[in-house]
Amino acid sequence: MTEYRDGGCICGEIRYRAPEPIRPINVCHCSECRQMAGGPSAFTACSAEDFALLSEGDLRWFAGPTSSTGGERAFCGRCGTYLLFRIPNDPLIYFSASTLDDESGLHIEAHIFWDSRGPWEVADGLPTIDGYGDEGLAAIYE
């Protein structure tokens, strides 16, 4: 039987369900994530096919104007919580680890877009990857 983790925005209008296993967290330091979230974004991922929105509320998708992948980010239109990231034709959907109801057992695997980090961000000893690396984002989360 498949187990799931639920999550959602801070106001509760948007709720989602992600199937286990949840991938390790990768912290994104790209300029869009930093500007939209106010700092690096900690994202995990699961199969887009098995991900479910339980309540969509006022979910708003925004196409990143400088995204190298054509990626889109989703926010709650009511409270502003940054929830999701998707890339066209990618088998995974990425979601903010901080929006899970239960974050237990998750750990940071690496920092991506390290070459785009802010000058105030310091290394913590975990692996760093410039951009998405040679294999692409989905390969990082495998």
Per residue in 10-45, pLDDT (tens digit) is: 999 999 999 998 899 999 998 888 888 888 999 999
pLDDT-based confidence at residue 57 (cuts at 50, 70, 90): very high
pLDDT (mean) for 6-12: 98
Domain boundaries, the chain: 4-140
Percent of the chain whose pLDDT exceeds 90 = 63
The reported pLDDT for the residue numbered 135 is 63
The pLDDT tens digits for 74-87 are 999 999 999 999 98
Q: What is the mean pLDDT of the chain?
A: 89
Task: Determine if the peptide bond prior to 88 is cis (ω within 30°).
Answer: no
Residue 107, pLDDT above cutoff 80: yes
- Which residues contact residue 76 at a Cβ distance below 8 angstroms, ignoring those fewer than 6 apart? 9, 10, 11, 13, 14, 57, 58, 59, 60, 83
Q: What is the pTM of this model?
A: 0.87
Mean pLDDT of 103-116: 92
pLDDT value of residue 7: 98
- 26 in helix, strand or coil? strand
Does domain 4-140 match CATH 3.90.1590.10? yes
Say what the pLDDT of residue 134 is. Answer: 62
